[in-house]
């Protein structure tokens, strides 16, 4: 299976259009609490099997996973696990949080709800 990727521009477009997109940060909780994309949930790539069924109940939802940057392999690993678990619309925002912040876009901080 090929993981579909999404650019910042494509992601911004989906969010601007009000599309139902679930953002998933695949880094550990400390990185998530420091800064994450607005509305993102935290599912570390090593905990996808345990957390995804509870935090991502709709397997047909658009799910965008990301980590820190293109060199970080957490999000592609998480995307592969989500696909294996039956999620149908998974995208990897490969450039990740560094790209988002570098573009001057907003982030949130604090623990996952």
Q: Is residue 109 included in any domain, yes or no?
A: no
Please state the domain count of the chain: 1
Residue 71 main-chain phi, psi, to 5 deg:
-70, -25
Q: Is residue 96 included in any domain, yes or no?
A: yes
Q: How many angstroms separate the first and last alpha carbons of the chain?
A: 32
CA–CA gap between residue 17 and residue 29 (Å, rounded): 29
Q: Is residue 46 included in any domain, yes or no?
A: yes
Give per-residue pLDDT as tens, 72-82.
Answer: 999 999 999 99
Q: Is residue 10 included in any domain, yes or no?
A: yes
Question: Per-residue b/e over 24-34, b at no fewer than 16 CB within 10 Å?
Answer: bbbbeeebbee
Average pLDDT across the chain, whole number: 95
> How high is the pLDDT of residue 111?
84
Q: How confident is the model at residue 113 (pLDDT cuts 50, 70, 90)?
A: low
CATH code of 13's domain: 3.40.250.10
Note the pTM of the prediction, 2 decimals.
0.95
Q: Is residue 110 included in any domain, yes or no?
A: no
Parent domain of 72: 4-102
Q: Is residue 14 included in any domain, yes or no?
A: yes
Beta bridge partners of residue 108, listed in sequence order: 36
Give per-residue pLDDT as tens, 22-50.
Answer: 999 999 999 999 999 999 999 999 999 99
> How high is the pLDDT of residue 93?
98
Q: Is residue 112 included in any domain, yes or no?
A: no
């Amino acid at each position: 299976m090929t993981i579909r990727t999404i650019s910042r521009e494509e992601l911004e477009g989906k969010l601007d259009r009000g599309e139902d997109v679930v953002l998933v940060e695949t880094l550990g909780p400390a990185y998530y609490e420091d800064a994450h994309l607005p509305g993102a949930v935290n599912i570390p790539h090593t905990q996808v099997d345990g957390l995804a069924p509870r935090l991502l109940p709709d397997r047909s939802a658009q799910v965008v996973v990301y980590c820190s940057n293109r060199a970080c392999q957490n999000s592609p690993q998480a995307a592969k696990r989500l696909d294996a678990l039956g999620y149908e619309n998974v995208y990897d925002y490969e450039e990740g949080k560094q790209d988002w912040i570098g573009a001057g876009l907003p982030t949130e901080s604090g623990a996952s709800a």
